[in-house]
Amino acid sequence: MENVLEIGQIVNTRGLRGEVKLNSFSEDSHRFEKLSTILVKNKNEFIEYEIEKVTYSKHQVVLKLKGIDHINYAEKLKGLYVYVRREVLGKLPKGVYYIADLIGLDVYTETGEYLGKVDDIFGVPKSNDVYVVRNDLGQLKYLPSIPEVLKEIDIKNKKIIVNLIKGL
């Protein structure tokens, strides 16, 4: 389903009244306060839940979902992924992308050499993100998300142009 984005994973329950703890994949965990609903993927099905309350516990988001009123129901959600419809999130600022839109893009150097596809992107605390590019042989190249390296990101044409600075 291309019109949804994965934003977290339910990892535990809290209390007896059906609250769930989730690890947020969003840079802004407080984004959940602006949401009225979420989608939970169970097997191949998305189930929509209305958010009744959002709180926080350490580095996790705690949600009280309508219809989940007992720990036994909440337990069934553990391990499931949480999604939101794209249109709910609004338009991103220029130069900002959802990771889901970058995964799978072809990566080329400025001279046209094919490096592979974006396989993963991970954040480094107090630094820039790192793009993991995997070539056809399975070899990995790690590219920092800095303007000197990432020259052009073209979502429409599914490609990224990079400058391999010294050391890469």
Residues 65-109 pLDDT 10s: 999 999 999 999 999 999 999 888 877 888 888 888 899 999 999
Q: Is the pLDDT of residue 47 over 80?
A: yes
Give the homologous superfamily in CATH for domain 99-162.
PRC-barrel domain (2.30.30.240)
The class that CATH gives domain 4-89 is: mainly beta
Q: Smallest Cα–Cα separation from 8: which of 71, 66, 77? A: 77
Domain ranges of the chain: 4-89, 99-162
Strands (E), 19-149: 19-24, 37-42, 45-57, 60-65, 81-85, 106-109, 114-122, 130-134, 140-144
Give the pLDDT mean for 150-166.
93
